[in-house]
Chain A
Amino acid sequence: MIKMFCIMRVSKGGIFILLLLYISIIILGCKQNKNLDLPAINTGLTPYEIKYPNYIPIINMPSDNPLSFEGVALGRKLYYDPILSNNGKSCSSCHEKATAFTTFAANAIPHINEAWNNVFLWRGGIEGTLEDAMYFEVNEFFATDISKLNSDAEYKMLFKNVYNIEEISQTDIAKALAQYLRSLVSLNSTFDQYLQKKTMLTASELNGLYIFNSEKGECFHCHSLGLFQDNSFHNIGIDSIFEGVNMGRFMVTADLADMGKFKTPTLRNVALTAPYMHDGRFQTLEQVVEQYNSGVKKSSTLDPIMAKPSFEHGLQLTPQEKIDLISFLHSLTDTSFINNANH
């Protein structure tokens, strides 16, 4: 810029114009450049957006694994493919779509809105992102043989397309699976439609909501309205003596304060996910509600919420109130989720 002034022939009258020009350059030049971030490299992938209402927490999306339609489709293909395992099983052999991806044999927390999770498994054996959870599944649970995928021309092509890689690693498989699981979003139950003022709840469902979301039932403290879980662990008093699998989070942390604590499962689609609790001990929602109503057992790690006098002496719900609470739980069923052909 300075050179420019030198070659210019400056007449006396022109100096003011020059000065003006100069000042404006300085002013403009001093503006902070806010667009320093390079635009995202156009990979040719179609971004996949998850939309959610304001009563749902903000998703923490890892920046190194952006969601794309191609990535989700690749993850889905892997999920249904026994190629990942060494025993002929695919993820879907245990996690079934019709039951919101819970498992019957050893009751898993269903794959619903896992995008919002930061702890996984009943005892919180995995903490971190969905990618971390999937890495565990691929690396430890399935011990996936990556040479099988690397000698499969179609997978090589698909991974090249999504992640721009020549060699597929377990980490890449985990990332693709994470994309698929992240796409399993269920936010279109009758209750969501009610919150969005698109439909009405019946009188019974409304009364159930009241019990659920007030001190009458206290359910909201852990099954927080929205996700209906809290990424946290609680002993809800289904046992007072803890042995074997019932020791819960203690098995992961070896901390006595965690004895009998389990992760709060989401209650979305709960009408489809029987049996209930970490060990599947209850077959029906009636039994679960009766447990909360009159079966809470004391122990030193019993959750403080469950130590309310009302829990200790029983919630004292009338038969009609129990029916109402259960009909509210049924309003959390999202049929569009299990009927979604993309899942």
Chain B
Amino acid sequence: MKYILLFAFAIITITSCQKKTENTTSQLRIDINYKVDDVPLFKDTMRYLNNAGDFYSVTRLEYYISDIVLHNANGDDYKSEQIQYVNAFTQATNQLVLDAVPNGTYTSFSCKIGLTAAKNLSNTLPNTSENVNMAWPDMMGGGYHFLKLEGHIATAAGDMGYAMHLGTDVGLVNCSVNKDIVISREIPNYLLTMNINEWYRSPNLYSIYFDGNHTMSSPALMTKIAANGYNIFTIE
């Protein structure tokens, strides 16, 4: 009797320390990449054409991504509190890792480029050497740049720079992708692709040359660009 008891204890001892492996949630990795319609984005090469006819290059693409939501048909949305700084040309910043996403099938993905007013406060995000120049000056409303998209366009008078900067409430970009997304341990990652040409396409056809090559001081221009960001992403 004593030995049976001891044996049972031993079994319990051994098994009790094992990690619980219930397969109800999974870690999801989203890799972000960039293209211009069908071609990949390369830094600093003057070779892209948007719908408004600008021939352009991209020298800088930095942004904050926040409010990531996976929408579920029965309303069980997965919401992430994560705020991530992304620099298109710095590989490590282009990996989003979402922990403990409940397994299942989601019907769409949404996120914001930028920060909602409550989170858009100066000196509140971790200040790293990479994102040091994302601050939006206090005298212009404070908080952070949501997006910095810079480069050059070709003009008759030679190359001219452009800087599409978004910030403050009017510059907040709501992004959405309708796509069935299956979360399970077998499918650990998805690819999120930003198509740069969408920034200039619809609903507001935007010409960098004619509409304006700098947006920062113009709420009207920021509003246009921000609206175009709605379907900037696709997911595979």
Q: Which secondary structure dominates chain B's binding surface? A: mixed
Which residue of B is nearest A19, CB measured?
Answer: B9
Q: Number of A interface residues, CB 8 Å? A: 45
Interface members, chain B 84-115 (any A CB < 8 Å): none
- Cross-chain contact B2 with A10 (CB below 8 angstroms): yes
Determine if B123 and A55 form an interchain contact, defined as CB atoms under 8 angstroms apart.
yes
Q: Decide if B139 touches A230 in the complex (CB within 8 Å).
A: no
Contact in complex: A214, B123 (CB < 8 Å): no
* Given contacts A5-B6, A118-B129, A215-B140, A307 and B213 within 8 Å (CB-CB): yes
Given A26-B12, A230-B133, check contact A304 B151 (CB 8 Å): yes
Interface residues of A in 291-320 (CB under 8 A from B): 298-309
B152 to chain A, nearest CB (A): 7
Give Cα distance in the complex from A214 to B137, angstroms.
Answer: 6
Which A residues are CB-close (under 8 A) to B129? 57-58, 60, 116, 118, 231
Chain A residues with CB below 8 A from B10, complex form: 2
Which residues from A are CB-within-8-Å of B150? 304-305
A305 touches B163 (CB 8 A): yes
A99 is an interface residue with CB less than 8 A from chain B: no
Say whether A54 contacts B161, CB under 8 Å: no
Complex interface: chain B residues within 8 A of A5 (CB) = 6, 9
In the complex, A214 Cα to B167 Cα: how many Å? 13
Inter-chain contacts of A303 with B (CB < 8 A): 161
| Minimum CB distance partner of B13 in chain A | A26
Q: Is A226 an interface residue (CB 8 A)?
A: yes
Q: List 5 A-B contacts (CB under 8 A).
A: A26-B12, A30-B17, A58-B129, A116-B129, A230-B133
* A22-B9, A26-B12, A232-B133 given; 9 more Cβ-contact pairs under 8 Å: A30-B17, A213-B137, A220-B135, A221-B133, A226-B127, A230-B133, A257-B59, A302-B159, A304-B151
| Chain A interface residues (CB < 8 Å from chain B) | 1-2, 5-6, 10, 22, 26, 29-30, 54-58, 60, 116, 118, 210, 213-215, 220-222, 224-227, 230-232, 255, 257, 298-309
Interface on B for A, CB 8 Å cutoff? 2, 6, 9-10, 12-13, 16-17, 43-45, 59-60, 123, 126-129, 132-133, 135, 137-140, 150-152, 158-163, 213-214, 216-217
